[in-house]
Amino acid sequence: MLRSTLASQGSPVYSVAWGPDSDRILYTSGRQLVIKPLQPSSKVIQWKAHDGVVLKVDWNSVNDLILSGGEDCKYKVWDSFGRLLYSSSSHDYPVTSLSWAPDGEVFAMGSFNTLRLCDKTGWSYALEKPNTGSVFSLAWSADGTQLAGACGNGHVIFAHVVEQHWEWKNIVITLTKRRTMQVRNVINDAVDVLEFRDRVIKASLAYGHLVVATSLQCYVYNSRNWNTPLIFDLKEGTVSLILQTEKHFLLVDGAGLYTFSYEGRLISSPKFPGMRADILNAQGVSLSNDTIAIRDKSDEKVILLFDALTGKALGDGKPLTHKLEVVEIALDQCGPSTERKIALIDKNRDLYLTSVRHLGREPKICKMGSMILNMAWNDVANILCGIQDNQFTVWYYPSVVFTDKELLPKTLYIKDGSEFSRAPHILNYVRTKVTLRQGDGSLVYSSVPPYPALLHEYSTSARWEDALRLCRFAKDQSLWACLAGMAVANRELTTAEMAYAAIGELPRVQYINFIKEQPSKESSLAHMLLFSGQVQEAEATLLQAGLIYQAIQVNIDLFNWERALELAVKHKTHVDTVLAYRKKFLQKFGRKETNKRFLQYAEGVEVDWEKIQAKIEMELSKEREKAANASVRSSLASRR
């Protein structure tokens, strides 16, 4: 029974494809491509795609990319807005078939006596010339390892994807046959051959371990011993993604997500409402030693965060919500779980950084840069690299954005992008080497100075003298800026003062000296928080310690007049101080008081500067006395 006629037009429809969420349909109309939403009121997108009739289209649900091929003998890759991402050169014959592999990483193209395997960005991996006539239709197996083609001479052609490569440090691994891998150590040219019982579906090599998923089992190899893998059975044979960290790895198959240790023990299996594991890809899932982050496919502004060891949602279970749709996410790999950060790129190609564990507070999402195409974290230090517009950028210390935002531009390492071709993609960032895949499919390597990673190591182990020595040796302003940010984050004031002095930030040096002169620990901590722009936290610290005047003074210094008055009235102290400073401030600018609250309290209060100064002096001497008593108590306790 015919349910509905979606479109009716004058030209034949040669090919049709469902959109990723089955709410839109893509079809051909002569040389045009048309995306028609199923909602009646929604706008139809239509554009000229080829110079000849479009014969074949396909739309992938994982990467949301569209393929088209036509009688102009070209195939093209588009995004779902109709923007051209890749156009092939002209072939000898029309493109008669196209098909995405299920995971969206590769696609196959068929033409007369031609079968081609291509990357999702368009460049070609392999070309076969079978004597079959035109390949009219292509279909992939569910695991993406095999391909079947319907041919013009009445034959069905079968193909298997082999020769994939994986690299990590000095090890290169190649899938030579469907069930055989070759491991080569490039330092001593030692070669090992790994045989498997079933065909290899997915593999991943990182952190000294090779994880291989076959159709029935998972093999875990340690790079120090290729002879005795750890083997365990898989529930479902269609593993679509493997992610690794130093301590464990994540398997994604059609049924769900599973975190395993390298000993083969199932650690956790996070679940969430509306989970569709089959459409998760490396841009939408990220793993660290303690956290799993997943971009929600039903609302792409939302990032779901789970504890990797329990599989439960982090904190109060509230996900992280960004103001725009998120395109790519990545968790940093080092440091304690309390300081875990997540970097995200949104639809506008802006890069943001935020904390994963934020203890009840609203997370602070800080912008790091714009026009970011892709990114990767380093494996041994929390250093981030990315392709930014037409250059390669490395953020030596991204967390500085939370302690002193103005230092961020000084902690960057920028390389001109002229040595890379159009649209390079970062594959990984291991130690000091970044591996990039260029637009034409070739691999290029870019090195990053080793000093920032060393500085991170010294900062983590509180070796501040070594850190200072390193900066003096390297004579690099960006390193000094990193050290300043690290020292402030760890409240190491002496080191911070020297680092700020080295980059000529004299106002900050003066403020650090002012912090050092504070009579009590609470005052010092509050001013450190102010230094990092955390005004509310600073005020809360002072109020908790009973330093009411200091909390009021902080708001006066920041011209938060209403808050200063509110605190003074609430605690019934220093109302005259607030009014006096407010009056002085208005007189300086030749203005009159218009705020009703200030007018109301000014009526019954007389401003006497001498009295106010005496009160302030008394408050400060009280604080000094309190601090002195506390230090005496602590020294007596330590003697006991």
pLDDT band at 627 (very low <50, low <70, confident <90, very high): low
Asked if pLDDT for residue 421 goes beyond 80, the answer is: no
pLDDT band at 5 (very low <50, low <70, confident <90, very high): confident
pLDDT at 523: 86
Q: Which of 70-84, 405-419, 491-505, 543-557 has the lowest mean pLDDT?
A: 543-557
pLDDT at 573: 84
* Bridge partners for 435 per DSSP: 428, 445
Side chain identity, residue 523: S
pLDDT band at 420 (very low <50, low <70, confident <90, very high): confident
Helix then strand then coil, in percent of the chain rounded to 5, is 25, 35, 40
Query: Which residue has tokens 């996070």?
Result: 270
Asked if pLDDT for residue 630 goes beyond 80, the answer is: no
pLDDT in tens, 71-120: 999 999 999 999 999 999 999 999 999 999 999 999 999 999 999 999 99
pLDDT at 270: 94
Residue 192, both tokens: 């090992």
Q: What's this model's pTM, rounded to 2 decimal places?
A: 0.89
pLDDT in tens, 129-164: 999 999 999 999 999 999 999 999 999 999 999 999
pLDDT band at 576 (very low <50, low <70, confident <90, very high): confident
pLDDT at 639: 67
> Backbone phi, then psi, for 535, in 5-degree steps?
-65, -50
Q: How far is CA 8 from CA 28, 54, 59, 154, 395, in A?
A: 12, 17, 21, 32, 53
pLDDT at 261: 96
Of 208, 212, 211, 220, give the one whose Cα is nearest residue 169. 208
Write the CB contacts of 188 (distance below 8 Å, at least 6 apart in sequence). Answer: none
Residue 539, both tokens: 């005020």
pLDDT at 594: 87
pLDDT band at 126 (very low <50, low <70, confident <90, very high): very high
pLDDT band at 626 (very low <50, low <70, confident <90, very high): confident
pLDDT in tens, 218-273: 999 999 999 999 999 998 778 999 999 999 999 998 889 999 999 999 999 999 88
Asked if pLDDT for residue 615 goes beyond 80, the answer is: no
The percentage of the chain sitting over the pLDDT mark of 90, rounded to a whole number, equals 68
Average pLDDT for residues 450-468, to the nearest whole number? 95
Asked if pLDDT for residue 408 goes beyond 90, the answer is: yes
pLDDT at 357: 85
Average pLDDT for residues 431-459, to the nearest whole number? 93
Alpha carbon of residue 41 to chain centroid:
36
Cβ neighbour number for residue 231 with a 10 Å cutoff: 14
Asked if pLDDT for residue 604 goes beyond 90, the answer is: no
Asked if pLDDT for residue 618 goes beyond 70, the answer is: yes
Asked if pLDDT for residue 19 goes beyond 90, the answer is: yes
Q: Give whichever of 42-56, 411-425, 545-559 has the largest mean pLDDT.
A: 42-56
d(CA 404, CA 280): 36
pLDDT band at 640 (very low <50, low <70, confident <90, very high): low
Of 8, 62, 61, give the one whose Cα is nearest residue 34. 8
The beta strands (E) that lie in 169-261 are given as 171-177, 180-185, 190-195, 200-206, 209-214, 217-222, 225-233, 241-244, 248-252, 257-261
Angle between helices 451-460 and 477-489 (to 10 degrees): 20
pLDDT in tens, 291-349: 999 999 889 999 999 999 999 998 777 899 999 999 999 999 999 999 999 999 999 99
Element (H, E) at 148: strand 146-151
Q: How far is CA 310 from CA 57, 282, 369, in A?
A: 43, 22, 34
Of 515, 519, 522, give the one whose Cα is nearest residue 500. 515
Residue-averaged pLDDT of the chain: 91
Side chain identity, residue 488: V
The three-class DSSP label of residue 88 is: coil
